[in-house]
Amino acid sequence: MFSVLLLTFFILTSSFESSSGTLMVDRDVNGFRVFVNGLEILYHSNSEPMFHISQTEINFTERHGNFRINETIEAGPVPMNTFHLQEETLENDRVIWTATLSNADDTNGTIIFRFWQGDNINNLQIGLRFDVTLHVGDSQYNRIVMRIPSLLSEHFYGLGEQFTDFDLKGHKYTIWTREQGVGRNLSHPLTQIMELIDPGTGGDFDYTYWPQPTFVSSRRYFFALESSAYSIFNFENSSAVEISIQSAQATGYFVVDQISLMSLVRSVSQIFGRQPELPEWVSTGAILGVQGGTDKMLQYVSEAEKHNVALSAMWIQDWSGKITTTFGTRVFWNWQWNRDWYPRLDEVIAELRQLKNIRVLSYINPSLNVEGNLFADGDRFGYFLRKEDDLSETYVQDFGEFYCGTVDVWNSDAVAWYKNVIKRNLLELGFSGWMADFEEYTPITASTSNISVQLTGYERHNLLPMLWAKVNREAVEEAGLLNDVMFWTRSGAAGASGYTTMLWGGDQNVDWTFSDGLPSTITAAFSAAFSGMGLFHFDIGGFTTKEALNLINLTRSKELLLRSAEYAVFTPVMRTHEGNQPAANHQVYSEEDTWTKFARLTQIFRALGNYSRTAIRQNSIDGIPVMRPLFLQYETDPQSFGINYEYMYGDDLLVAPVLHIGQDHQRVYLPPDQWIFLWDNEKVVHFGPLNVTVPSPLGHTPVFYRNRSNWTDLFDDIRIKYSK
């Protein structure tokens, strides 16, 4: 309330001591406030200091990409409440403010906080830039805690890809890339059982492959911390966001856009770089994920054609061979064609494309099995990450009962070599895309041979996913195939959205839980959209299957498979996955009825092709996410802000996926507009805002289209042809 009153006072009196363009500073003997475009974004006083410092020790325990993090505060937190604020005008008339902050009772630490009106990033004006440095003298303080004022009514979105809560308010998040863990909820019985069976594999609500130290505020500003250091974003305090940075130095910026949240989200995508348009073939049908060799793949193609499945591609992640572990069958991480497992693959790829317009896709990640020849080739030249305490030795890591080296993405020769592996072994073979997996496992003790790279182990760990996306993108661009190839990643960091061509949600459980099952993919799509990543899809049916000690029977049902498939129709990519234990899961090819129902859904996906491509182009050109929460399009509607599991697919389709077992009706909220239920033959027009209950039999995801849409003829055709 005090912040609101102060802002009102500013509007009425304009009694600011200094301003530079849209950046304004108000100070008195007790503190100072910083405004951008009239919005208060920073505040410091003796009683509410902007910074604290502490000495914090962190212990990481890693098992197969699952990290447990334990923190111990050895000293502090110390409030840096005394300040001296100085204004300096440079030769180019730029005004830089420098705040020197300390604690009257502690002389061992000083914060130097500099801020100024920012330069452009990708032709976008930055409202405020800052850098902060901790000078500690002989002390051991190593953590900066920065406070950003907030309101009780304020909400926050983003932080990369989050799966449990779209609205970050009331929660605390670690910025640390890692496996999401089975269950992602330490209070859930499934996760607790996993912890008993295999300690460290359970996961909690903030575990994610793509953590990103950026967020969007409902007050219409965007905050970015330009650091890959380990950090914590705490939204639990209703009066301030607290950002803990495990570093003595950091930079960042604010973007303030008072036009709309949509305008702000577009700005975020402009900063990090927008995804290119997907190749046209992606929207012509489903991508069928299968394994087992050339003959098996062709058998699935034949069965799909027999059942009138609209196919765009076959995805064979086991193209390089297979190994067996207790987790399930795993791909042999040696990224070259296994001719014994997939004989005549080069010929088959060409034939499927030329004769049937079906592409073939594959799999790769940045690590190589020590038992493969490619590891031997790379290791000979020192192309893998090294041991931090002995740079002459390759860091070999356990990835789950097999051992690998990971390409050193800071070594330019190693990057060139790995890009050539992609170009020679994947693109020249004829693959039209691949899953670019992993990059979350790297220990902080794994280092680079490039001694010019001045990064800590924490920073290297968090930065690797962005550089892995960059390797894939450059390989595709150098081959001149960006318009024809789609690769999809699950891990990321700030900037990765400007390199990857598609995000997928990673390894959800084959269940209905909101923490780690089908519903969590909607949350992931929304948070990614607010972090610059406007293209998202997921494994149809989920991935993680577990059967253990008669305590867990986590296997995919037919209902889950088809419900997720009908929801995937209204996403940019419709791709199946057999899961980590294919034999335990219901598959699209398990029975005739599933084939038939799945085929109908793929035909709808294909029919929506032109509409989907328009939405994808809109994301590429204008930065408007393809899947977006209702309030992003209907910001003036207060009720839309509380709807977390419905979304707009493009401008004209409202989708409300069925997320519960055995549900045959669905209550749907319609924001202010005119809506027609896609499966209603009578074409009744519903005037929002309105809650309406509609039938939702299997295969009929509740979908509404805008009555005034330019695509009504297409939607009517789909209703007439596919209502039954």
Active site residues: 437, 440, 507
- Centroid of chain to Cα 430: 28
Q: What does the DSSP assignment read for 275-320?
A: PPPPPGGGGGSEEEE--S-HHHHHHHHHHHHHTT--EEEEE-TTTT
Q: Hey, what amino acid is at 4?
A: V
Which of 251, 268, 275, 271 is closest to 122 using CA atoms?
271
What lies within 8 Å, CB to CB, of 443 at 6+ separation is 60, 62, 395, 397, 457, 461
- For the chain, the distance separating the N- and C-terminal CA atoms, rounded to the nearest angstrom, is 55
Sign of the torsion formed by the C-alpha atoms of 333, 335, 338 and 343: positive
Please report, for residues 54, 84, 89, 686, the alpha-carbon distance to residue 111 in angstroms, rounded to integers and kept in the order given. Answer: 12, 11, 21, 57
Q: Quick count: other Cβ atoms within 10 Å of Cβ 105? A: 9
Structure tokens at 308: 């009138």
Pairing relationship of beta strands 433-436 and 486-489 according to DSSP bridges: parallel
Cα–Cα distance measured from residue 285 to residue 606, given in angstroms and rounded to the nearest whole number = 5
- CB atoms < 10 A from the CB of 690, how many? 14
Phi, psi (deg, nearest 5) at residue 518:
-55, -45
Element at 471 (helix H, strand E): helix 457-478
Residue environment code for 168-203, b if the CB has 16+ CB neighbours within 10 A, otherwise e: bbebebbbbbbbbbbbbbbebebbebbbeebebbbb
Bond preceding residue 519 cis, omega within 30 of 0 = no
Question: Based on C-alpha coordinates, what's the Rg of the chain?
Answer: 26
Residue given tokens 């990103």 in the structure block: 212
Residue with tokens 């940075």: 245
Q: How far, in Å, CA of 447 to CA of 397, rounded? A: 13
**Residues 647, 663: Cα–Cα separation, whole Å:** 19
